[in-house]
């Protein structure tokens, strides 16, 4: 989806959101990266895992569960051995492990399985990260990562929340998936990331489920999950409460399905880019069956958005079409419940609002809805607020 740098579409929320949300960005296409090739046969290493065949326990490679000793080398060694083994599993037992920046690279002999039962802690000083990533899995035909219900990645981001110390102004992402063509990520808690908690980039066909992602209320730019140049992803049965976007969607993304996710506090679900983009398209978005509790800024298309003084003032060149908002109910603390502010040079087309009931709970009502530069809007069963024309 060629969104480039022009803010396109946003749903901002500040409290609790429980939803079943479907994305189908059919008219936004980008050429996917080729899947990595399988590794050529190599000498098979001997697994070390307390007698479990094919289990590569990081403690057998020198990892120390004292939350003080940097176990980066041990984790890297366990991964390297497992990657060469046919039917590998990298295992992290219970305990607290301090781990520096690592890139777990493929290709591997077989789809790796990574089980994290303990807690991994990032180095607390953001200035030691010369790259904006803490843990990365890349160049894999598939990957399966599980926390088995107890695993946790603690980004120890407190020192970075003041906006100082990160290399080049970019704070590291806790978990990054790059050029991976299949797999699952499940049952892991991600907390206190310095930057985004999870980034999914240049990949396809991933299931993300049963995740718990949290950060303090004043932790800037700590998006829960960021998706970019990605095809076919299912995010389900998860809870995300951060100080920025719950889930953010960037350029080149297609066929995104989000369901049974609780968002809040945070900024909700956002399809975004920044001013100045070339002509591009966003289409076939469906937001359905959403419950909102004391939320600000429920439903927004804002093609005039500018987060800083340096934005270009010319109208957006992003074409938005075929957008559905259906069965959205709850309570609001802002009067402007529905805002459709489309580009003056590129009207939004075929926007549907159906069965909307958002009750304004403060005494200075009523709430309002605004529609600007929308062509072909359809409104049915809109109880609150009163529909715009």
Higher-pLDDT residue of 14, 141:
141
Q: What is the mean pLDDT of the chain?
A: 85
Catalytically annotated residue among 244, 245, 302, 322? 244
Q: What is the pLDDT of residue 216?
A: 94
Q: What is the pLDDT of residue 83?
A: 94
> What is the mean predicted confidence (pLDDT) over 188-200?
98
CATH 2.160.20.10 intervals, the chain:
31-250
Q: Who contacts 233 (Cβ-Cβ below 8 Å, separation ≥6)?
A: 200, 204, 205, 206, 207, 208, 227, 255, 256, 257
Q: Which CATH superfamily is domain 31-250 in?
A: Single-stranded right-handed beta-helix, Pectin lyase-like (2.160.20.10)
Q: Is 244 a catalytic residue?
A: yes
Catalytically annotated residue among 154, 197, 223, 267? 267
Percent of the chain with pLDDT over 70: 81
Q: What is the pLDDT of residue 280?
A: 84
Q: What is the pLDDT of residue 25?
A: 40
Q: Rounded to whole angstroms, what are the CA distances from 107 to 33, 104, 137, 179, 185?
A: 14, 10, 10, 10, 18
Percent of the chain with pLDDT over 90: 63
Judge residue 132's burial from the number of C-beta atoms within 10 Å of its C-beta, 0-12 exposed, 13-18 middle, 19 or more buried: buried
- With cut-offs at 50, 70 and 90, classify the pLDDT of residue 261: very high
pLDDT in tens, 270-300: 887 555 667 888 999 999 999 999 998 889 9
SS3 content of the chain, % helix, strand, coil (to 5): 5, 45, 45
What's the CA gap between 81 and 108, in Å, rounded?
10
Answer yes or no: is pLDDT of 20 > 70. no
Higher-pLDDT residue of 281, 256:
256
Q: Rounded to whole angstroms, what are the CA distances from 60 to 137, 328, 335, 375?
A: 21, 52, 59, 63
pLDDT-wise least confident of 162-166, 295-299, 344-348, 380-384:
162-166
pLDDT in tens, 36-88: 333 333 334 445 544 356 899 999 999 999 999 999 999 999 999 999 987 76
Higher-pLDDT residue of 168, 176:
176
Answer yes or no: is pLDDT of 303 > 50. yes
- With cut-offs at 50, 70 and 90, classify the pLDDT of residue 141: very high
What's the CA gap between 99 and 12, in Å, rounded?
34
- With cut-offs at 50, 70 and 90, classify the pLDDT of residue 92: very high
Higher-pLDDT residue of 310, 26:
310
Contact at 8 Å (CB) between 49 and 87? no
Predicted TM-score of the model (pTM): 0.86
Q: Is 267 a catalytic residue?
A: yes
> What is the mean predicted confidence (pLDDT) over 375-379?
94
- With cut-offs at 50, 70 and 90, classify the pLDDT of residue 314: confident
> What is the mean predicted confidence (pLDDT) over 303-326?
82
Q: What is the pLDDT of residue 249?
A: 93
């Amino acid at each position: 989806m060629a969104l480039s740098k022009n803010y396109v579409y946003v749903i901002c929320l500040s409290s609790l959101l429980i939803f079943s949300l479907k994305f189908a960005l059919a008219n936004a296409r980008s050429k996917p990266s080729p899947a990595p090739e399988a590794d050529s046969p190599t000498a098979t290493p001997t697994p070390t895992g307390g007698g479990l065949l094919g289990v590569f326990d990081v403690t057998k490679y020198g990892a120390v569960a004292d939350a003080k000793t940097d176990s980066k080398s041990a984790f890297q060694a366990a991964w390297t051995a497992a990657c060469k083994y046919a039917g590998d599993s990298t295992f992290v037992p219970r305990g607290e492990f301090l781990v520096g920046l690592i890139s777990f690279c493929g290709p591997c002999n077989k789809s790796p399985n990574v089980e994290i039962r303990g807690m991994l802690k990032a180095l607390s000083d953001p200035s030691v990260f010369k790259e904006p990533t803490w843990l990365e899995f890349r160049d894999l035909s598939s990957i399966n990562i599980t926390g088995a219900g107890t695993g946790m990645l603690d980004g120890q981001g407190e020192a970075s929340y003041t906006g100082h110390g990160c290399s080049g102004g970019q704070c590291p992402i806790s978990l990054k998936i790059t050029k991976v063509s299949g797999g699952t990520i499940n049952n892991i808690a991600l907390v206190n990331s310095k930057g985004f908690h999870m980034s999914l980039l240049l990949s396809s066909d991933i299931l993300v489920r049963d995740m718990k992602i949290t950060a303090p209320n004043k932790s800037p730019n700590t998006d829960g999950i960021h998706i970019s140049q990605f095809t076919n992803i299912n995010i389900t049965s998860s809870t995300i409460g951060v100080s920025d976007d719950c889930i953010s969607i960037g350029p080149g993304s297609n066929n995104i399905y989000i369901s049974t996710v609780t968002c809040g506090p945070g900024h909700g679900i956002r399809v975004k880019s920044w001013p100045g983009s070339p002509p591009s398209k966003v289409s076939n978005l469906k937001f359905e069956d959403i419950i909102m509790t004391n939320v600000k800024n429920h439903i927004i298309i804002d093609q005039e958005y500018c987060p800083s003084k340096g934005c270009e003032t010319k109208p957006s060149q992003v074409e938005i079409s075929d957008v559905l908002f259906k069965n959205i109910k709850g309570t609001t603390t802002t009067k402007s419940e529905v805002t459709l502010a489309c580009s003056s040079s590129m009207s939004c087309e075929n926007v549907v609002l159906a069965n909307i009931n958002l009750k304004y709970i403060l005494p200075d009502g009523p709430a309002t809805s605004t529609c600007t530069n929308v062509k072909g809007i359809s409104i049915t069963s809109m109880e609150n607020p009163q529909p715009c024309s």
